[in-house]
Structures are given as C-alpha cells and as structure tokens.
Structure 1
Amino acid sequence: MRWATFATETGERVGAVDGGTIHALPPGETLLDHLRQGTLPATLDEAAGRSTDTVALNDVRLLAPIPRPPSMRDSLCYLQHMRNAMAARGVTEDLPDIWYDIPAFYFAGPASVVGPYEDVTIAPGSTWFDFELEIAAVIGGTGRDLAPHQAQELIAGYTLYCDWSARDLQALDRGLGIGQAKGKDAGTTLGPFLVTPDELPDHAFDSPFDIEVRASVNGVLVGSGTTGKMDWTYGEVLSYASRGIPLEPGDVIATGTIPTCTLIEHFNALEPDAPTFPGWLAPGDVVELTAAGIGTTRQRVVAGVDPWPLAPRPRA
C-alpha cells in the first residue's frame, strides 16, 4: 500500500492511496501513532473500511509521510558515491579501510523535514547548494542489537529522501573532523508516500530491491541509476544502527546518495566552470526526483537569509 499524510484546515490527516483517491482515516490519527501502536491497516480493503471519508489526491497538499520523525539517520550505502565525490574534490586515492568495515551514518535533524512539493530554502551563507537522491526505510517496530534479517523485518515502508546539502558549509564541517553539521541542516525531504515493502520488487536483508531513479533540475537530467547496487544493505545498516540502542517506530534511515544523482559528483574542483557541470542550485531552480514504485518529489529552491556573524575566538 501507499500511505499519504496531507494538510487540511484542521490539521494533518493520513490515508491509504488508491489510484487518485485517498481513503482518509479519522481526524487526529497519524502514521506515527499507528506505527507505534501497531494498528496500521494491512490491506487497502481494511483501510477503506476504517476510512471516514475520501478525498482526491490531486485536491490535497501532501506533507512528509511522517512530518517529524523521532530520529533520522543518513547512511552511506553506495561507496561509489563517496568515490565520485572525492574525485570531484581532486582526491583520487581509494577510500580508507574503515568505509569497508562498517556502514557509515550520521544523525540528521527531524526539524529539517519538508514535504515533497514544498519550497526549499538555501542554507544561510551557502553558494554551493546541492541535492542528493536517496531512499529511506521507515521503522515500524522496536528492536535492539538486531541481526540483519531481524532488522529487515522492522521496516514498515520506504519513501524518497532528499538530503539537501550546502557543499561549501560541508567543507567547513569536514575541517572540524567530528562529522556533519551545518552543511546538512538546511532541509530533508520525505515523500511523497510511505510505500509498504510488498509494493516493491522482491528483496531480503541481503538483497536490496532494484528500482530505477532519476534526478533533474529545471527539466534537465542530472543523474540516473538503480538502487540495487548497494555496498551495505538495509538489513546490515539497520543491524549496525541498532547496536546498543533501540530502533523505534517512525525512525527514518536513508541509504545515502545513489551514484550520479547529485550535483557534487558532476563537479570538478580543478575546472569548476567546465560546461559539463550544470552549476550549484540557485533561487528559482526546480529539482525533481523520481523513484519507480515510490513516487516523485518536485521542489523549488528559494533564497536563504544572511547568517548572523560570529566573531572568531583568539588563537592560543
């Protein structure tokens, strides 16, 4: 099934999507509540039977399926993306061994979540603004210290995930050596739907589903690929994330960027004005991301604000 969260005059509603119709559950119910309580209808017939009214999909404003997740992690399951990004900066050596030993991830801010068709504001002070097309798993149960096959069973569904990235601010973060910070705070898109695993091609904890994805800016294709060539699978990433801490219903764990579906991989620091690079995002640009079987997000980039200056500390 496909689940949507949409805006109404009295607050958000949730419903099961059947073609162009949403079977809306009673007001006040949310996807997060149903995931926590284990009460999400398992079939479209069940959802329709519990629906209080129906609305046309084209008549509503879709929100993120879970507008404020309990937690979000962004992984790096596609090591080729990392290699391509390093090459863009002029770094040609192979990845350090640690990337092959454990699945990397960092925590993202739930307050940064925006819906699939909402405007995205450029990070304050950034002139190298970028997007990253990813797929995220949404957790539907609770578990800790899980084996990969156990972790896979906790997935309630999948959604598109766009990691909006300020590459110039990310370079400052990198200098600190303690992980991602303001380079990743500008926005995180979830949507347009939460798609249950049965809607996607057969997959298992050690064999991810394989679907086509596309990313474009202003109607011009930037990158495309498929999801199946993951170096770390969902089961492995979730197993690692659950070490010593429980995964909770509504937690969002993304795959990291599918190779070529981001601007940084087409950049060349040695030739920044090369005609093959489409340029960093600017106000008015429209970014469209598509994943077969999951849906399409379409968002306009808008200008940000100037950051409030902070005086540097005296050097010791």
Structure 2
Amino acid sequence: MKLITFTNKTGEERIGWLEGDMVVDMNLLDDKLPTNMLSFIDNHESYFKIISTHLNITPHYKIEEVKLLPPLPNPRSFRDYVAFEEHMLNASKSFGHPVSKDWYDMPIFYFTNHHGVYGPNDDILCPKHETNLDIELEMAVVIGKKGKDITEEEAGDYIFGYTVFNDWTARAIQRKEMTVPLGPHKGKDFANSIGPCIITKDEMEQYRCSISRQSHPEHLAMPPQTSNRFDLKMTAKINGRTICKGNYKTVHWTFPEMIQRASENNVTLMPGDILGSGTVGWGSLMENNFSVHRPLASGDEVELEIEGIGVLKNKVVL
C-alpha cells in the first residue's frame, strides 16, 4: 500500500492511499479511520484491520485533484545515517580527510530537523548566501512501533514503511561547520523533503535480495551479511538530466542495524520516528566536486526516484 497525506478539493488535510493514479480518502471510506498519518501509524494494526473489511473500494479523487503533502508531515524525530561506503569515501575525499576506522564499527547518525519537512512539489528555499546548494539521494524508514534496545533480528517488527528522502545540504555552510567535531548543523536543518508516499513494508519484500556486505579491499575482514538489503534502483535528475544512478543493495549498514544502533542503551524509538539511510554512492553533487552539475540555483527542478516507491520532485527558489 502506498500511503499519502494530501489536501482535498476544499483544502482539508487528509490521509489515504494511491490506487494507480487515483486516491482513496481513508476517512471517507470509514469514519473510524483517522485523518492524519501520525495517528494512523500509532494504531496502524487496528486500522489495517478496518481497511481489510472494505472490499471493492472506489477511489474518491484523481491524483491531479488533490495536493500531495509530505506523507508524514510531523515525524516525532528524524535521524539521518551515513550508511553507504561509496558516499563516505567520496565525501571524505572532498572534505580532505580519511574515513574514520570507527565508521566500519558502527552505523553513524545525527539528528536533523523534524520540523523542517517538505513534500512532493514543494519549493525549497536556498539558505541566504549559500553558494554550494546540494542534494542527497536517500531512502528513509518509518518506525511503526515503540521499543528500546531493539536487536537487529527484531528490527523488522518495528518497521512501518519506507519513503524517498532528499537531505538538502548547504555545502559551503557545512564545510565550515565540519571543522568542529559536532557533526552537521545549519548546513542541514533548513529542509528535508520526503515522499511522494510511504510504501508499507510488506510491499518491499519483492525487492529483498541476498548479497554480501559490500566493502573496499582494505576492509574485507568485515563479516558478511546476506539479508536486509533491497535491490532497488535509485536515480537523481536535475532539470530532466540524470546525474546519478545507484542501487540500495550497495548499502553497507542496513536499516535493522541502524534501528539497533538508535535504540541501544535504553533509548526509546517511537511510532513516526524516521531514519534516513544516508546518500547512495554518487548521489550528491559534492562527490564529483560539482563537475557533473553546478551547485543548485533558483529554478532548478530536482527529481529523486526509488524503484517501487516513486518520484520526489522539488524546485529550488531564492
């Protein structure tokens, strides 16, 4: 199921799901169903049972009759990881420092702005005086159940679904900030776009693949892992031109490993928390020193696509 948040013809915020190019409004289907995504995620097991009792559903709108919003406009928290080794190597080279050996010991994350969430077709305002505005092509997982000290083996039970994530980045600001060892700050918190939908975890199983953990030769001693990866094409376009083609299966640290890391030491994850995967290799302009495409400018249209989920499109404005 591809779940969405949208405004209807009268401007009311609603939730539902896509049936091809048609939209089902949950609350019009059954008034016991909620009108916001966070409430739905909080009690999704009960709500899915209600939905299952409705057969031969007739959609309520054509997709062009509604405005898609971020599928989860108000996540409870938003962590972002750096889980792809290729991106880590490229980024470290760009910033002029080696990859820390500790990166290979644990998945690393920072907290980003869970209030700065944008959806499909939203304009993204470039920070003042920023000269190297960049994109980051990522997938994100949405937590569906409360838990702490969750093991990697248990983590699948805590996943609600997945979405496309653009971790917009002000590289000029970030470059200064990263000289202080506290991670990214104002270079990251101005915009996080997600969408166009949240695909429920059951629909992702068709993409699950068995592949050993990918690593460069100097790290071949890493133990292999053969599950928890998905064979999903990931593509980034700017103004219609493809600037990156990647695949989620190349990820080094998987979502279950990220969930274990986030929840360890008695830390509680909540329904509606989001964890970003980090950028797929070559999924940002900085990795090519902006040679594939200049820094983003006003009017540029960015499209991030992940197979099975959809296309997240935004325009940059001043």
Query: Given the two structures, how large is their TM-score scaled by the length of structure 2?
Result: 0.87
Alignment of 1:121-132 (within 5 A): 121-132=125-136
CA drift at 1:90: 4.2
Q: Tell me what 1:4 maps to.
A: 4
Q: Tell me what 1:271 maps to.
A: none
Does structure 1 conserve the Cα–Cα contact (< 8 Å) formed by 2:153 and 2:256?
yes
SS at match of 2:237: strand
1:211 and 1:127 map into 2 onto residues whose CA distance is 32
State the AA in 1 paired with 2:19. Answer: D
Q: Percent identity?
A: 33
Deviations 1:141-200 (A, max 9, x none): 111001112122211100001000000111121122112110001200010000012222
Deviations 1:38-80 (A, max 9, x none): 3464489628559897111222110011101000000111021
Q: Which runs of 5+ in 2 are unaligned?
A: 29-33, 211-225
Comparing 154-163 with 16-25, greater Cα deviation is found at 16-25
SS at match of 2:147: coil
Deviations 1:77-133 (A, max 9, x none): 102101111222344x4x111101110000011111001210101022211100101
State the AA in 2 paired with 1:264. Answer: M
Deviations 1:240-273 (A, max 9, x none): 10112111001000100011111111107xxxxx
Alignment of 1:36-75 (within 5 A): 36-39=42-45, 41-42=47-48, 46=52, 54-75=60-81
Does structure 1 conserve the Cα–Cα contact (< 8 Å) formed by 2:137 and 2:284?
yes
SS at match of 2:250: coil
Does structure 1 conserve the Cα–Cα contact (< 8 Å) formed by 2:120 and 2:312?
yes
Alignment of 1:155-194 (within 5 A): 155-194=159-198
1:50 and 1:75 map into 2 onto residues whose CA distance is 41
1:284 matches 2:290 = no
State the AA in 2 paired with 1:258. Answer: V
Does structure 1 conserve the Cα–Cα contact (< 8 Å) formed by 2:143 and 2:159?
yes
Q: Tell me what 1:265 maps to.
A: 287
2:112 and 2:13 map into 1 onto residues whose CA distance is 23
Aligned length: 294
SS at match of 1:189: strand
2:40 and 2:19 map into 1 onto residues whose CA distance is 19
Closer/same/farther in 2, CA of residues 40 and 107 from structure 1, 3 Å limit: farther
Query: Given the two structures, how large is their TM-score scaled by the length of structure 1?
Result: 0.87
Q: Which runs of 5+ in 1 are unaligned?
A: 269-275, 304-316
State the AA in 1 paired with 2:4. Answer: A
Alignment of 1:123-162 (within 5 A): 123-162=127-166
Closer/same/farther in 2, CA of residues 267 and 125 from structure 1, 3 Å limit: same
The alignment's C-alpha RMSD in Å is: 2.2
